[in-house]
Amino acid sequence: MLGYILDEVFSNHRSPSGHPERPARAEAVRDALNAASIATRARHVATRHATEDEILRVHSVAYLEELIKLVPGKSGWLDADTYFSPGTWEAARAAAGSTVQLAVDVLHGKLAQGLAVVRPPGHHATRDHAMGFCLLNNVAAAAAAARAQGAARVAILDWDVHHGNGTQDIFWDDPDVLYLSVHQFPFYPGSGAPTEIGGTGALGATVNVGLPGGCGDAEYAAVFDHVFLPKLAAFRPDLLLISAGFDAFQHDPLAGMRVTRAGFAAMAHRLRAAADRWSAGRVVAVLEGGYDLDGLGGGMTEVLSAFTGPAESLPAIVPLPSHIVARAAIEGTLTAHRNAGVAIPEPQVAR
């Protein structure tokens, strides 16, 4: 059975007036999932705080000490985008700890899949810095915990419209954590070029496809079929984590992509099928960005349906996009890896 995290604690991270990363985001997802009868399709998992050890696997001691000094019970800013309120530290520790617990439970077969509706988001938080609305890197903490619990390989696929620079930074030199990102490029935070493929000892374990603004369902499907799924097939992770941001949605106010609800459904179904095929079905989606409330709630509902519905085969491979710049972005990623001697396999025709 799928396990899910939904808790009022995440609304206690209170935003300044007008800030896009606001409690209404988690509330919109909660309402959408409740409307989709999540309680009859999945098991609610209690939240818990991350332990110090779980945080320190992915963040430095100095950074944790800074957060403990500045954040609990107070209001302020860690950078120009990243605020904190009196309830933020409890919410951040609950977001990281609950995501860790969900991932470990899925790894050990206590749950089939997982869905973590948590905030603040995490994928911009580096080992040493908060940024981009993020304090603790939830998905990175989950990946590191899974490795500590016996997973030989973990993959993180990030479809948020912004590149997950923090997750990439944390696992840059780790060949056993595969980081895959499709994002708008060039765009905030400025990272995610196709030539960013991992450190010397982990070449090929970082895969970036930076698409131009205006791309939609067809271009994202091509990225999955020609880059991500072949890479996952070769890597065969014990656990697949998704940094599930919904700000590539066609009406999102902070970005310029054109992904529809059907497009998110297609990505989720591909990853459910990939997990079934190469990861014993073990997949966990973790909320990142997404600032149009309808797109956010609808997108996460599609993930729920993909995870809890009947198992499906991987679909037929879509052609490379007709959009010239998008096609060049995909080919640029493939070329960068091939030139470094870590070529991504060709798509499998028979699935």
CATH of 2-339, one of 3.20.20.60, 3.40.800.20, 3.40.50.720, 3.50.30.10: 3.40.800.20
Q: Can you tell me the distance from the alpha carbon of 189 to that of 75, in angstroms, rounded to the nearest whole number? A: 24
Asked whether the whole model's pTM tops 0.95, one would answer yes
Instruction: Find the catalytic residue in 59, 124, 129, 162.
Output: 124
- How many Å from the N-terminal Cα to the C-terminal Cα in the chain? 26
- Residue 240 buriedness (CB in 10 A; 0-12 / 13-18 / 19+): buried
In tens, the pLDDT along 185-204 reads 999 999 999 999 999 999 99
Cβ(286)–Cβ(241) under 8 Å?
yes
Rounded CA gap, 261 and 315, in Å?
18
Q: Take residue 213 and report the two structure tokens written for it.
A: 């603004």
Q: Hey, where are the domains in the chain?
A: 2-339
The rounded distance, in Å, linking the Cα atoms of 80 and 190 is: 16
Residue 184 φ/ψ region, left for φ over 0, alpha for ψ in the -120 to 50 degree band, beta for the rest: beta
Q: How far is CA 202 from CA 139, 173, 175, 176, 207, in A?
A: 19, 5, 4, 8, 11
Active-site annotation holds for 19: no
The token pair that represents 168 in the structure block: 């990439």
Determine the Cα–Cα distance for residues 262 and 309; give it in Å rounded to an integer. 15
How much is the pLDDT for 348?
80
Helix boundaries (H) for 121-173: 138-148, 165-170
Residues of the chain with pLDDT under 50: 350-351
Tens-digit pLDDT profile for residues 124-163? 999 999 999 999 999 999 999 999 999 999 999 999 999 9
